[in-house]
Amino acid sequence: MTARLALIRRHPIKSVGGEGLDSITLQAARRLPGDREWAILTEAGERHALASQSQGQPDRWLPKSCFLRGVASLELQAVTGGWQDDRLTLSHPKREAIAVDPATEGPRLIEWLRPLWPNEAPAPTRLVRGAAIWTDQKWPWISILSLSSLAALETTMGHSLGIHRWRGNLWVEGWPPFAERELIGQVIHVGEAELRVTAPVGRCDATSADTTTGRRDSDMVRTLQQQFGHKDFGVFAEVVTGGTIRLQDQVAA
Q: Which residues pair with 168 in a beta bridge?
A: none
> How much is the average pLDDT of 28-34?
96
Q: What is the pLDDT of residues 225-238, one digit of tens each?
A: 999 999 999 999 99
Q: What is the pLDDT of residues 130-148, one digit of tens each?
A: 767 899 999 999 999 999 9
**Global pTM exceeds 0.75:** yes
Considering only residues 104 and 60, tell me which one the structure prediction assigns the higher pLDDT: 104
Average pLDDT, stretch 36-53? 90
Helices (H) and strands (E) counted in the chain, each on its own, are 4, 19
Pick from 101, 114, 103, 116: nearest CA to 209: 116
Decide if pLDDT at 1 tops 70. no
DSSP summary character for residue 62: -
- Per the prediction, the chain carries an average pLDDT of 95
How does residue 204 score in pLDDT terms, banded at 50, 70 and 90? Answer: very high
Domains, the chain, with CATH or none: 3-31+138-252 (2.40.33.20), 39-128 (no CATH)
How far apart, in whole angstroms, are the C-alpha atoms of residue 107 and residue 156?
Answer: 42
What values do phi and psi take at 155, rounded to 5? -65, -40
From the list 185, 199, 207, the residue with the least C-alpha distance to 236 is: 199
251 beta partners: 3, 190
Mean pLDDT of the 176-203 span: 97
Specify the pLDDT at position 47: 87
C-beta pairs of 183-190 under 8 Å, 24+ apart in sequence: 183/235, 183/253, 184/235, 186/253, 187/240, 187/253, 188/237, 188/251, 188/252, 188/253, 189/250, 189/251, 189/252, 189/253, 190/5, 190/245, 190/249, 190/250, 190/251
Is residue 195 a contact partner of residue 36, using CB atoms and an 8 Å limit?
Answer: no
pLDDT at 133: 83
H/E stretch holding 87 reads: strand 87-92
At residue 104, the pLDDT reads: 96
69-90 tens-digit pLDDT: 999 999 999 999 999 999 999 9
pLDDT tens, position by position, 177-187:
999 999 999 99
* High-pLDDT (> 90) share of the chain, %: 92
**pLDDT class of 2 with cuts at 50, 70, 90:** confident
Rounded percentage of the chain residues whose pLDDT exceeds 70: 99
Three-class DSSP category at 249: coil
From residue 98, give the alpha-carbon distance in Å to each of 3, 82, 234: 37, 11, 31
